[in-house]
Amino acid sequence: MEDLRYDFSKEVYKNECDRENGLNNKSQIYLSLLTIILSSIIFNIKDVYDLIKMPEFSNINNTIIGVLVSILVTSSIAISMIFLSMRLFEYKNPYLFETLKKFYEKNEYDKKIFDLETSKNYLKAARSNERVNDSKAKFLSYSYFFIILSFILSVVFLTLIITVKK
């Protein structure tokens, strides 16, 4: 029974570690997407400047500037959410050293008790890491929403630029 509990605890802890890696990879992908979106806007800044100087497009200029500001705001929020998810959270490790130390001090070894103590440490660390991963996932889900919004606004922005340039 203790072996089963130990294996289960270790597996739960390992799953949270794998989840952390997945969330970190997702945040890197999100940052890459935002870089692409913002690059597409930066490459068209000169066109925006040229359009703003033309008085015959004053109504559309306000729309273009409004969309541009909206892109910058939504992208900034998305970047903030991504960085919040990437900030240094304190992940717990199972404190196996303390368990080993107890057994060496007593100078006796009971596998059942050792497995039980180790299982408790794994589960304690897994619970803590689960809360950290849940927070990271929440921030990433918010950033996903703002990335999609930035992408839609970028498409509108580029469409307006292309349409007005013709």
Q: What is the pLDDT of residue 146?
A: 95
47 Cα distance to chain centroid: 33
Tokens encoding 50:
């040229």
Domain ranges in the chain? 2-165
Mean pLDDT of 66-91: 88
- Residue 44 DSSP one-character state: T
- Count of positions (residues) in the chain: 166
* Calpha distance 125→111 (Å, rounded): 21
Mean pLDDT of 136-149: 94
Q: What is the pLDDT of residue 155?
A: 92
- Of 126, 28, 128, the residue nearest 86 (C-alpha): 28
Task: Decide if pLDDT at 58 tops 80.
Answer: no
The rounded mean pLDDT for the chain is: 84
89, 27 in Cβ contact below 8 A?
Answer: no
